[in-house]
Structure 1
Amino acid sequence: MRLTVLAAVSVVAMTASACSSSKPCAGVGVTSQIGVMFLQRGYTDLAGASYELCAGSRCGKGHLEQEDITRISLRLPDDVDEHLGTLRFRVTPKGSTRPKIDASTDVKLTRQPDGCGGGAYSKGLAFTKEDGLTTKIPPSVSAAWRRHLDSLASPSESF
């Protein structure tokens, strides 16, 4: 009887986990997505501008704040594969009908395994006024993102 109970508990524990391995699945919950780090240096009139990030039949839209760097992401369908195709990034200033930025590039996604036999596809890109939309993240974008994260982690002086 004791052996039967132990076996049942073992099966339930393995079923409840995301994989049949005894090691934890650190990547469970990874999602397919594409992101653009947008370095706004060189633009002065983007507060309230609308953006659109499109890939395949999906688009993400929103509005920008005037800040040094903005991270824009688009969730992709679960069944996406590495051959995403063309990614298009547009930014239209508030009150305008013409985009100030209209850039596109072909994108091949990278698989992120979840450690349990599954995974998701994703890719990070950058947009700068100097380099346009690129899959190679320039050092200036990485540095701006680090500064941004540091500013979020710094304690506020006003309580």
Structure 2
Amino acid sequence: MVKRTVRLGVLAAVSVVAMTASACSGSQPCAGVGVTSQIGVMFLQRGYTDLAGASYELCAGGSCVKDQLEQEDITQLSLRLPDDVGPDLGTVRFRVTPAGSNHPEIDASSDVKLIRQSDGCGGGAYSRGLAFTKEGGLTTKIPSRVSAAWREHLESLSGGRPS
């Protein structure tokens, strides 16, 4: 389910970029097209044994998303935030609990300031990308090895063609 969600997310992101570009280049107004308030976490699973079927919870600003993980090198998780959220989000919490356990293997948090993303048409939203690695924890500074793992993952989804 997560792989399908990631593929659909990649396709949705490409569609949003195309819609934003076409909406803003025409004569029609385009308030708020293509951007959403959200938190995204790239989770590098290296260093953990079997997290297939583990549950995760990502919480921020009074909202949470919960689902199950598949065993993969890297997973992208996202939490949509209310449209009226501002830059001072506060604490983001990320938990992963192995299947059949009541105790989280990962329970990390980080204080986060959101960044305004413009839609190029006078609108926008606040969001932030984070990364989680076993060595570095939950951070807003995306390590190069996480970016490289995500790039490899996207290439594998596209049949090995660079994007």
Q: Give the TM-score taking structure 2 as reference length.
A: 0.79
Q: CA deviation at 1:25?
A: 5.0
Within the candidate set 74, 77, 89, 1:72 is matched to 77
Structure 2 counterpart of 1:133, from 138, 143, 146: 138
SS at match of 1:95: coil
Runs of 5+ unmatched residues, structure 2: 1-21
Q: Deviation of residue 29 (structure 1)?
A: 2.9
Shift of 1:42: 0.4
What is residue 56 of structure 2 aligned with on the other side?
Answer: 51
Equivalent-residue separation in structure 2 for 1:115 and 1:51 (angstroms) = 34
1:112 offset after TM fit, Å?
0.6
The separation in 1 between residues aligned to 2:69 and 2:23, in whole angstroms, is 37
On the 8 A contact 1:26/1:115 being kept in 2, the answer is no
**Structure 1: which 4+ aligned runs deviate by more than 3 Å?**
21-27
Please tell me the residue identity of whatever aligns with 2:49: T
> Whose Rg is larger?
1
Against the structure 1 CA distance between its residues 154 and 112, is the aligned structure 2 distance closer, same or farther, given a 3 Å change threshold?
Answer: same
Q: How many residues align?
A: 138
Matched-pair contact (CA < 8 Å) for 2:31–2:123: no
Partner of 2:47: 42
Identity %: 79
- Distance in 2, matches of 1:41 and 1:24, equals 45
CA RMSD in angstroms, aligned pairs only = 2.2
Q: Distance in 2 between matches of 1:25 and 1:98?
A: 47
Letter of the structure 2 residue corresponding to residue 108 of structure 1: K
> Offset at 1:22?
3.9
Contact 1:49 1:91 in 2 (8 A): yes
**Equivalences for residues 1-159 of structure 1 within 5 A:** 22=27, 28-154=33-159
Counterpart-to-counterpart distance in 1, 2:148 and 2:122: 34
Distance in 2 (CA, whole Å) between partners of 1:101 and 1:82 is 26
| Structure 1: runs of 5+ lacking an equivalent | 1-16
Cα-to-partner distance string for 1:107-156 (whole Å, 9 max, x where unaligned): 0001011122110111000000010000000011001000000000017x
